[in-house]
């Protein structure tokens, strides 16, 4: 071979080598990046080429899929009672992606999860069309309906969370106002108007906000349950009926400011039972100041404060501050100042008390299934912490039960069940100028001593008169209906 031909051959060989290197780089090194690139329409087309698997409640699907009549995408998502279930399912949209369970378990629902490889291979060999798997939730349909209907009747904004204390299973997770994920599950051309209408800039009620998990509120007097737990755990008081050293009036430590109670109530040197029954700010504020910031913070963290929760949907961290002076600690100990909590967090507080001091990790997915219903993954209950000893938890239970028997929570009473609860009315706005939030946390105990449900309800009611807002008046009836629904489902 002469020299010019040899040079041409070497140059062509280098070109072939470069082509092979580039081809392997694209197929192997960058495969995942290209597969997940939002600009790669083939990925989206393949994703919507088959019906998605379903999200299941009480053995029944609350989702579906329907064939589209135009465009590249063959199927789009549908929802049954979409607004009621949106805080659980989230949405799956051809144009706007997805969130919550639809996003977290997208691999199972589309059938693309690596754990479904054997099932998909078998279906391919047998010629069976590809199918997504299912997400089986812990939700109780009757409890969810009671929660959503209660919020809807109230007509303002609010949220409800119900837990099974012994396992941490989420039985209800409702937020109001809500939205129908079906309204924008199609392509951008057909559903952009519906999507834009739901955005906060266009709808101040922010219907797409998951208030149960993503909104933190001042918990008001419901936080006094945490303060009572701190008093018992730190040995400040050893009985519900022990007199507290609580003067009236009480001037907050380091200030000249009296901490006021709501009305003329028997708070002077009251027992903790009486103080919780009448919701004495002076008693619990002084307990917080006496224990100090460090001990109050330690107890709050045991209940889950200052940490995000993953259900698996993420819940915002609730807040109990560090480095507070005694007066700030006093205010925080009655659920004011910087203290803020999600409804999930306050349901966790009630759940831990009901479960004899053991806090279980909250979760809403019971299992993941393949398309032929074989289990892919099952969630096992997991202990999160021990905020209370069993003995102290039972003392606190007796206090909360007094609140419902003859205190501010009588609207939550249920025939043939013992109910423990705590009302709360949390002030907010500049100089408390806004209408307060109405809270109620509770649990129900049956004659067999089981405690099947713990609930937290918060109501924002911008149209209500200030004097009419109370946890007992607005939130407790909703909690009662949710607890009753769970109890009835156990029969």
pLDDT at site 71 = 74
- The catalytically annotated residue of 185, 221, 333, 370 is 221
**421-433 pLDDT, tens digit each:** 999 988 654 445 5
- Domain extents for the chain? 212-365+384-490
Mean pLDDT of 346-361: 98
Residue 465: pLDDT band (50, 70, 90) is very low
C-alpha pair distances (Å), 418 with each of 140, 316, 474: 21, 31, 20
Q: Could you count the other beta carbons within 10 Å of the beta carbon of residue 25?
A: 11
Residue 327: pLDDT band (50, 70, 90) is very high
Block residue for tokens 């797409």: 208
Residue 125: pLDDT band (50, 70, 90) is confident
Mean pLDDT of 334-343: 96
| pLDDT beyond 80 at 163 | yes
| End-to-end Cα distance, the chain | 93
Instruction: Among 25-29, 72-76, 235-239, 260-264, name the one with the lowest average pLDDT.
Output: 25-29
DSSP, collapsed to helix, strand or coil, labels residue 302 as helix
Secondary structure (DSSP) of 144-160: HHHHHHHHHHH-SEEEE
Mean pLDDT of 186-209: 94
pLDDT at site 1 = 57
Q: How many residues does the chain have?
A: 491
Task: Write the CB contacts of 313 (distance below 8 Å, at least 6 apart in sequence).
Answer: 90, 100, 101, 104, 210, 213, 364
Task: Write the CB contacts of 260 (distance below 8 Å, at least 6 apart in sequence).
Answer: 281
**Dihedral of CA 364/445/424/361: which sign?**
negative
Q: Could you count the other beta carbons within 10 Å of the beta carbon of residue 232?
A: 24
Higher pLDDT, 119 or 356: 356
Instruction: Output the 3-class SS for 230-284.
Output: HHHHCCCCCCCCCECCCCCCCECCCCCCECCCCCCCCCCCCEHHHHHHHCCHHHH
As a 3-state breakdown, the chain gives helix, strand, coil percent values, each rounded to 5, of 45, 20, 35
Q: Give the relative orientation of helices 343-354 and 224-233 as an angle to the nearest 10 degrees.
A: 40
pLDDT at site 436 = 76
Instruction: Using alpha carbons, select from 241, 226, 344, 331 the residue that is nearest to residue 286.
Output: 331
Please state, in angstroms and rounded to a whole number, the distance separating the CA atoms of residues 227 and 223.
7
Please state, in angstroms and rounded to a whole number, the distance separating the CA atoms of residues 65 and 78.
5
Higher pLDDT, 468 or 441: 441
Instruction: Among 129-143, 184-198, 283-297, 449-463, name the one with the lowest average pLDDT.
Output: 449-463
| pLDDT beyond 80 at 237 | yes
| pLDDT beyond 60 at 462 | no
Residue 387: pLDDT band (50, 70, 90) is very high
Q: What is the CATH code of the structural domain delimited by 212-365+384-490?
A: 3.40.710.10
Residue 155: pLDDT band (50, 70, 90) is confident
Mean pLDDT of 465-476: 67
CB 425 within 8 A of CB 439: yes
CB 454 within 8 A of CB 354: yes
pLDDT at site 432 = 52
**29-79 pLDDT, tens digit each:** 666 666 566 666 777 787 888 899 999 999 999 999 999 887 788 999 999
Higher pLDDT, 69 or 216: 216
221 annotated active-site = yes
| pLDDT beyond 80 at 184 | yes
Task: Give me the helices (H) in 62-187, please.
Answer: 82-89, 100-104, 106-110, 117-126, 141-154
pTM over 0.85: yes
Half-sphere exposure of 171 (CA within 13 A, CB side): 30
Average pLDDT score, the chain: 91
CB 99 within 8 A of CB 93: no
């Amino acid at each position: 071979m002469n020299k010019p031909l040899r040079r041409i051959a070497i140059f062509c060989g280098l070109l072939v080598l470069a082509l092979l290197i580039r081809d392997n780089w694209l197929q192997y090194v960058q495969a995942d990046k290209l597969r997940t690139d939002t600009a790669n329409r083939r990925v989206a087309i393949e994703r919507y080429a088959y019906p998605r698997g379903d999200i299941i409640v009480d053995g029944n699907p609350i989702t579906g899929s329907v064939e589209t009549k135009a465009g590249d995408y063959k199927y789009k998502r549908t929802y049954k009672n979409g607004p009621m279930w949106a805080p659980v399912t989230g949405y799956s949209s051809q144009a706007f992606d997805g969130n919550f369970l639809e996003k977290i378990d997208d691999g199972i629902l589309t059938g693309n999860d690596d754990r479904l490889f054997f099932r998909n291979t078998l279906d391919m060999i047998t010629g069976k069309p590809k199918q997504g798997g299912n997400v089986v939730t812990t939700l109780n349909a009757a409890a969810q309906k009671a929660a959503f209907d209660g919020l809807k009747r109230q007509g303002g904004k609010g949220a409800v969370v119900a837990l099974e204390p012994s396992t941490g299973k989420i039985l209800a997770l409702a937020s109001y106002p809500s939205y129908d994920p079906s309204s924008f599950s199609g392509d951008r051309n057909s559903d952009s108007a519906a999507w834009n209408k739901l955005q906060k800039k266009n709808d101040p009620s922010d219907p797409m906000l998951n208030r149960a998990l993503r909104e933190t509120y001042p918990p008001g007097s419901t936080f006094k349950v945490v303060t009572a737990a701190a008093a018992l755990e730190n040995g400040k008081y050893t009985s519900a009926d022990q007199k507290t050293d609580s003067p009236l009036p009480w001037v907050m430590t380091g200030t000249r400011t009296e901490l006021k109670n709501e009305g003329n109530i028997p708070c002077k040197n009251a027992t903790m039972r009486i103080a919780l029954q009448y919701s004495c700010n002076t008693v619990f504020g002084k307990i917080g100041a006496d224990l100090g910031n460090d001990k109050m913070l330690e107890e709050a963290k045991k209940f889950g404060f200052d940490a995000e929760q993953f259900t698996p949907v993420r819940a915002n961290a609730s807040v109990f501050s560090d480095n507070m002076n005694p007066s700030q600690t006093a205010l925080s100990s009655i659920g004011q100042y910087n203290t803020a909590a999600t409804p999930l967090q306050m349901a966790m507080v009630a759940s831990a008390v009901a479960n004899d001091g053991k806090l279980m990790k909250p979760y809403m997915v019971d299992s993941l299934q393949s398309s032929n219903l074989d289990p892919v993954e099952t969630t096992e209950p997991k202990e999160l912490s021990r905020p209370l000893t069993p003995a102290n938890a039972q003392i606190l239970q007796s206090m909360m039960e007094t609140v419902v028997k003859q205190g501010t929570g009588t609207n939550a009473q249920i025939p043939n069940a013992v109910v423990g609860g705590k009302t709360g009315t949390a002030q907010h706005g500049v100089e408390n100028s806004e209408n307060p939030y109405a809270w109620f946390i509770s649990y129900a105990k049956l004659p067999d001593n089981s405690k099947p449900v713990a609930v937290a309800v918060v109501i924002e009611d911008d149209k209500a008169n200030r004097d009419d807002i109370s946890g007992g008046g607005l939130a407790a009836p909703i909690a009662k209906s949710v607890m009753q629904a769970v109890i009835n489902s156990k029969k």
